[in-house]
Amino acid sequence: MKNDKRRVVVTGLGAITPIGLCVQEFWENSLSGKSGAGKITSFDVSQYDTKIACEVKGFNPLNFVDKKTANRMDLFTQYAIASAIMAVKDADLNLEKTDKERIGVIFGSGIGGMWTWHRQMQTMYETGGPHRISPFFVPMMIADIAAGYISMHFQVKGPNYATTSACATSSHAIADAYILIQRGDADIIFTGGSEAAICPMGVGGFNAMKALSTRNDEPEKASRPFDAQRDGFVMGEGAGMLILEDLEHALKRGARIYAELSGIGLTADAYHITQPAPGGEGAIRSMRLCLSDAGLRPEVIDYINAHGTSTPFNDKSETEAIKAVFGEHAYKLHISSTKSMTGHLLGAAGAIEAIITVLSIYHDMIPPTINYEYPDPECDLNYVPNKYIKKPVGAAISNTFGFGGHNASLLFTKFQQN
């Protein structure tokens, strides 16, 4: 780390996922290899090529906000506020004794309120035209509203905005939070992302792109990153929140520190709207930049939480990129895609995968890539197949790559005070 920049640590976590409604449940189910996939229950999928997804199950927004407030929120915002409330509690933050003008919220969504859009379109066309549109339509739909609600809920008044960069959205939010704390613009930032796009247009749109798995008869085996029989990703939903904090601020209040965020790498492919650049060129630069930012050599990395979408192009490209960056060390790395269990949370993927990466460092345990049954000769690294492993994890990278050629790599390290 450069000595002239403040150090940034992770002091709180919150998550709503298809395999757990809190961080502890999410972590335990990740280690056990639990799949969150099943038949879609939120709408009629009889006419869809894909009939499966990783839906959040059993979530009740009234556990976090009152009914009136919940009714004025899209589902993605409900997930967001829930993850924030849990993260603040986990961080043991006493906001009444903290300068709220030094606390920010940078929280993204790749798509925003798709369910709100869908329902309001139905209202307009089925029950009487534009005058039937709710006055809450726009503030429920827009992607930045989750960040706004979080700041209002906690009355925190530092930097406040949303990021949107497809599947890299919440990794970009975390990277921005890191930069702002480093340069002294905030002491604490609530950061991450949320998504709730398992809806008629969401599934229909990705089906039109031929991006989704159609393994409808075996939903729990449909997300199979790096496996030779992968046929597309499985949609997921939920939210992840990390509390990032200036190290000195965290130490002064006696905070538990999960890990340190030591480096970031942000690049663009400038190649294609959906396909990665040949050989993973953008991902190569992203990982090299985060190593350089952290001042670390490639051989000290123990684990990579891969973007690993279970699509033919991405998994091959990411494997090529890892080999290019790490050389022979690539074969010593432990790599896993937890999308095999959660599905692809789109704009929230980076946040929940950063949480997994942080917990892997904190607990010295690495979750598996489930459904790895048929090796692909073009994907020949150690993807931690099917069972978690316990080993020391001193440094790890979380990769996220989004449509439009957006690449983000976050490098976390085990916290050492010196």
Q: Please confirm, yes or no, whether 363 is among the known catalytic residues.
A: no
Q: Which fold has domain 8-252?
A: Peroxisomal Thiolase; Chain A, domain 1 (3.40.47)
The predicted structure's pLDDT at residue 128: 76
The predicted structure's pLDDT at residue 3: 53
Q: Please confirm, yes or no, whether 307 is among the known catalytic residues.
A: yes
Q: Kindly tell me the sign of the dihedral angle through the C-alpha atoms of 71, 75, 80, 86.
A: positive
The predicted structure's pLDDT at residue 417: 85
Is residue 311 within 8 A of residue 344, CB to CB? The reply is: no
**C-alpha 307 chain-centroid distance:** 10
- Catalytic residue (one of 172, 249, 334, 344): 344
Rounded to whole angstroms, the Cα distance separating 385 from 199 reads: 31
The predicted structure's pLDDT at residue 1: 39
Is residue 22 within 8 A of residue 248, CB to CB? The reply is: no
Query: Would strands 334-336 and 303-305 be described as parallel, antiparallel, or unpaired?
Result: parallel
Domain residue ranges in the chain: 8-252, 263-413
Per-residue pLDDT of the chain (418 residues; tens, 9 = 90+): 345 789 999 999 999 999 999 999 999 999 999 999 999 999 999 999 999 999 999 999 999 999 999 999 999 999 999 999 999 999 999 999 999 999 999 999 999 999 999 999 999 999 878 999 999 999 999 999 999 999 999 999 999 999 999 999 999 999 999 999 999 999 999 999 999 999 999 999 999 999 999 999 999 999 999 999 999 999 999 999 999 999 999 999 999 999 999 999 999 999 999 899 999 999 999 999 999 999 999 999 999 999 999 999 999 999 999 999 999 999 999 999 999 999 999 999 999 999 999 999 999 999 999 999 999 999 999 999 999 999 999 999 999 999 999 999 999 999 998 7
Q: Please confirm, yes or no, whether 167 is among the known catalytic residues.
A: yes
The predicted structure's pLDDT at residue 127: 83
Please give the class, per CATH, of domain 263-413: alpha beta
- Catalytic residue (one of 172, 249, 307, 334): 307
Q: Give the global pTM.
A: 0.97
**Residue whose C-alpha is closest to residue 236's, from 26, 13, 12, 376:** 26
